[in-house]
């Protein structure tokens, strides 16, 4: 007997969930399309060298690796798994997009507003609600260095979330350069900035005392830690908090970082017609090591962790083409959004009627043809018509059909 369960950590998607996924993807294409984003696709299989180039942080440990084929596979002499593979499954859409842009820039507009949706793969420890194959949905603006990129990304993403029925969410905003300046201002040694950032990222969860404890435990000096934590007391997330925070950092902060954050916050707030807040959050970190400037995410109090995240990564494309290209992207948590909608009992709006035609076994060929013709005409007019043989247990058959959304059930006898 063959195996009937899906492979570990991956899932079969049932029609009910699939309808919600398709609905969200339709809205994604409609809303992002309205902002001038155009869709593209990269292969799911990527060069192992690209996947292992230290852009992906922890994800590089979770790559599904594909065995070389034919003569290239030299099992006898191979001393490590690396010698057996030349490709792997992509773990995100940002790295392949950078490769794509380097490869196709001459055929793309500049700036290029890119929309991608597709499966990515991470061999994470299996756990509830987390799968090894999942869909990401990213928008990116490549070739645009001004804050207009961030503003359009945030307006597009918040418009989509509102269209999907979400409200009362908050866009949290910061800049990698502020984090670096903070570490410098505090006096932490430069080699351990990343360690500091990972601990600071936990402020929301473990509070200032927890962060203090972890920083001290990691061996940082008490005066440095206090200097760092001292800066957070004032921040309330508004423009004046940003100004105060930046003023305290002084010369540690490069020119332009504060102005850019202020422009983004003010523009988004004045253009949007409400429904969400945008605020400066000095301890926003975002995991990926490739970010170089603005970073942002969207949180909703009722759903814990973030439902969207992104930032500026001006150095990545240059690693493929040799020519640096400014780049900024925003990714919605597609699977998270699907889970939330499913749990809320979201119903996809129906277009047209849903009819079921049940055919008795004894129908002649002529009568069957007549019925099928009627079904074809109703379908042509935009309705769904299921044609099915009538079953012995008709009560059960009708209940099942009604549960599937068929509101009109017709029986046909000779």
39 contributes a contact to a second copy by CB under 8 A:
yes
Which token pair is 279?
């605020």
DSSP 8-class letter at 70: G
Order of strands across the sheet with 408-412?
384-389, 354-359, 408-412
DSSP string, 272-324: S-SSEEEEE-TT---S-TT--SEEEEEEEGGG-S-SEEEEE-TTTTHHHHSS-
SS3 92: coil
Give the contact letters, 115-134, x = binds to a second copy (CB under 8 A), - = no.
----x-x-x--------xx-
Binding status of residue 392 toward a second copy by CB under 8 A: no
Using CB under 8 A as the binding rule, whether residue 327 contacts a second copy is answered as: no
Residue 113 in the binding site for a second copy (CB under 8 A): yes
- CB 281 to a second copy: min, Å: 22
Q: Under the criterion CB under 8 A, does residue 45 sit at the interface with a second copy? A: yes
CB of 33 to a second copy, least distance (A): 6
Separation between Cα atoms, residue 131 and residue 116, nearest integer Å: 20
346 forms part of the interface with a second copy (CB under 8 A): no
165-204 residues in contact with a second copy (CB under 8 A) are none
Q: In the range 136-165, which residues lie near a second copy by CB under 8 A?
A: 144, 146, 148, 151-152, 155, 159
Rounded distance, CA 298 to CA 208, Å? 22
Q: What is the largest CA-CA distance in the chain?
A: 91
Min separation Cβ 99 and a second copy, Å: 5
Which residue among 232, 320, 346, 412 contacts a second copy (CB under 8 A)? Answer: 320
Site membership for a second copy, residue 313 (CB under 8 A):
no
Figure out which of the listed residues 60, 84, 227, 238 binds a second copy, where binding follows CB under 8 A. 84
Question: Cβ distance 100 to 42 under 8 Å?
Answer: yes
Q: Minimum CB separation from a second copy for residue 251, in Å?
A: 26
The site that binds a second copy (CB under 8 A) totals a number of residues, namely: 106
Per CB under 8 A, the list member of 387, 398, 409, 412 interacting with a second copy is 387
Q: Segment contacting a second copy (CB under 8 A): 18-26, 170-178, 188-196, 337-345?
A: 18-26
Asked if residue 7 binds a second copy (CB under 8 A), the reply is yes
Q: Is 260 in the site for a second copy (CB under 8 A)?
A: no
What φ, ψ does residue 46 adopt, rounded to 5°? -130, 155
Residue 412 in contact with a second copy, rule: CB under 8 A = no
Q: Is 348 in the site for a second copy (CB under 8 A)?
A: no
* SS3 assignment, position 37: coil
Smallest gap, in angstroms, from Cβ of residue 180 to a second copy? 25
- Per-residue DSSP letter, 130: B
For 14, residues 6+ apart whose C-beta sits below 8 A from its C-beta are none
Residue from 80, 127, 344, 364 in contact with a second copy (CB under 8 A) = 80
Is 113 or 286 the residue whose CB approaches a second copy more closely?
Answer: 113
Instruction: Give the one residue of 372, 390, 398, 412 binding a second copy; rule: CB under 8 A.
Output: 372
Q: Is 65 in the site for a second copy (CB under 8 A)?
A: yes
Assess 49 for contact with a second copy (CB under 8 A): yes
CB of 183 to a second copy, least distance (A): 28
Strand partners, 137: 117, 332
Q: Which of 28, 59, 91, 100 binds a second copy (CB under 8 A)?
A: 100
If one asks whether residue 46 binds a second copy (CB under 8 A), the answer comes out as: yes
Judged by CB under 8 A, the residue of 27, 57, 66, 260 near a second copy is: 66
Residue 395 DSSP symbol: H
User: Of the two residues 208 and 394, which places its CB atom closer to a second copy in the complex?
Assistant: 394
Cis peptide before 111 (omega within 30 of 0): yes
The answer to whether 256 contacts a second copy (rule: CB under 8 A) is no
Rounded distance between C-alpha atoms, residue 108 and residue 110, angstroms: 7
Task: Based on the shown chain and the rule CB under 8 A, indicate whether residue 401 belongs to the binding site for a second copy.
Answer: yes
Q: Residues 383-389: contacts with CB within 8 Å, 24+ apart?
A: 383/352, 383/353, 383/354, 383/355, 384/352, 384/353, 384/354, 384/355, 385/355, 385/356, 385/357, 386/354, 386/355, 386/356, 386/357, 387/357, 387/359, 388/356, 388/357, 388/358, 388/359, 389/358, 389/359, 389/361
Exactly one of 383, 390, 409, 412 binds a second copy (CB under 8 A); which one? 383
């Amino acid at each position: 007997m063959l195996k009937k369960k899906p492979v570990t950590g991956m899932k079969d998607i049932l029609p009910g969930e699939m309808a919600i996924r398709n609905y969200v993807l339709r809205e994604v294409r409609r809303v992002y399309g309205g902002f001038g984003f155009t869709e593209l696709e990269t292969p799911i299989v990527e060069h192992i060298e690209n996947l292992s180039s230290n852009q992906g942080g922890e994800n590089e440990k979770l790559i599904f690796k594909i065995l070389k084929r034919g003569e290239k596979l030299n099992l006898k002499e191979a001393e490590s798994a690396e010698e057996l593979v030349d490709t792997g499954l992509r773990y995100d859409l940002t790295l392949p997009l950078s490769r794509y842009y380097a490869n196709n820039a001459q055929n793309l507009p500049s700036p290029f507003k890119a929309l991608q949706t597709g499966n990515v793969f991470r061999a994470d420890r299996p756990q509830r609600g987390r799968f090894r194959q999942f869909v990401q949905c990213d928008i990116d603006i490549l070739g645009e260095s001004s804050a207009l990129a961030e503003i359009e990304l945030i307006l597009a993403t918040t418009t989509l979330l509102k269209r999907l029925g979400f409200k009362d969410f908050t866009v949290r905003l910061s800049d990698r350069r502020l984090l670096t300046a903070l570490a410098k201002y505090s006096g932490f040694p430069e080699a351990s900035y990343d360690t500091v950032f990972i601990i600071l990222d936990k402020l929301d969860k473990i509070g200032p005392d927890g962060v203090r404890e972890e920083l001290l435990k990691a061996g940082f000096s008490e005066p440095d830690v206090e200097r760092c934590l001292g800066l957070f007391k004032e921040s309330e997330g508004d423009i004046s908090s940003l100004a105060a925070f930046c003023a305290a950092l002084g010369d540690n902060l490069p020119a332009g970082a504060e102005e850019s954050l202020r422009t983004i916050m003010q523009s988004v707030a004045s253009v949007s017609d409400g429904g969400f807040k945008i605020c400066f959050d000095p301890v926003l970190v975002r995991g990926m090591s490739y970010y170089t400037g603005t970073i942002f995410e969207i949180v909703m109090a009722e759903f814990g962790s973030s439902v969207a995240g992104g930032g500026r990564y001006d150095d990545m494309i240059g690693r493929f083409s040799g020519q640096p290209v400014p780049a900024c992207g925003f990714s919605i948590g597609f699977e998270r959004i699907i889970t939330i909608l499913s749990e809320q009992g979201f119903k996809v709006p129906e277009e047209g009627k849903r009819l079921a035609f049940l055919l008795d076994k004894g129908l002649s060929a002529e009568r069957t043809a007549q019925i099928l013709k009627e079904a074809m005409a109703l379908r042509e007019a935009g309705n769904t018509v299921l044609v099915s043989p009538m079953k012995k247990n008709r009560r059960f058959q009708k209940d099942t059909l009604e549960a599937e959304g068929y509101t009109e059930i017709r029986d046909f006898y000779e």
